[in-house]
Amino acid sequence: MPREMIQIYSEVIDTVRAFNNGLEEDENLRNQLGYFRAWYYIPEIDMVGPSKFVGYKGMTAAEYLRSYEELDGRDTEPVLSRLFEEMDPNEGDRRREANYVRRLVESLLERYGKVPNKKSRFNAPEQWNLGEDDDVTPHGDVRASARGSTSRPMVELFWRAFLTLYTDDQRALAQRIADYVQTR
């Protein structure tokens, strides 16, 4: 049975989160890392995921591992290309952004003793770009990484962690914070 493709950007955010969470939990998924070629960056959560995983709606690590031989990134890439554009780290006006995403992929894979496929391609939302003052080192010093932020480093770190949570978890945490603030 064909799997349903993502349709909207928020679905990609969810599958990129699921991919990154799955890496933490499943060695078999980590063993696939060197095979992925097309990587997609989500700036809101500063995470990446491969097309073969993130292009399918509701994908989980368990589902991916059950059916990865039947899945094909070539099927997902036309759908993802409506929301993202490919960037070349070696040329073009988005080199800086492409190198940021490339380094983010390298950093992710390095955590698990892997290296990116030599044929890797890097994609990001069409309207996304690094500002002049943005740090181009993925997961770098949080004080330098938030464009226009005047927050203290710990607040910025907390914010970035908050953005990686599933929507339900964000709501639950926001409620806990609101409850705590009201009692003070």
Tell me the pLDDT tens digit for each residue of 43-81: 999 999 999 999 999 999 999 999 988 888 889 999 999
Strands of the chain, DSSP E? 38-42, 47-50, 84-87, 121-125
For residue 146, the model assigns a pLDDT of: 38
Q: Give CA–CA dist 49/61, Å, rounded.
A: 12
Residue 184 has pLDDT above 50, yes or no: yes
- What lies within 8 Å, CB to CB, of 83 at 6+ separation is 9, 12, 125, 126
Tell me the pLDDT tens digit for each residue of 155-166: 666 776 777 677
22 or 142, which is more confident?
Answer: 22
pTM of the model: 0.72
Residue 111 has pLDDT above 70, yes or no: yes
Each domain of the chain, given as residue ranges in start order, spans 9-130, 141-184
Tell me the pLDDT tens digit for each residue of 27-42: 999 999 999 999 999 9
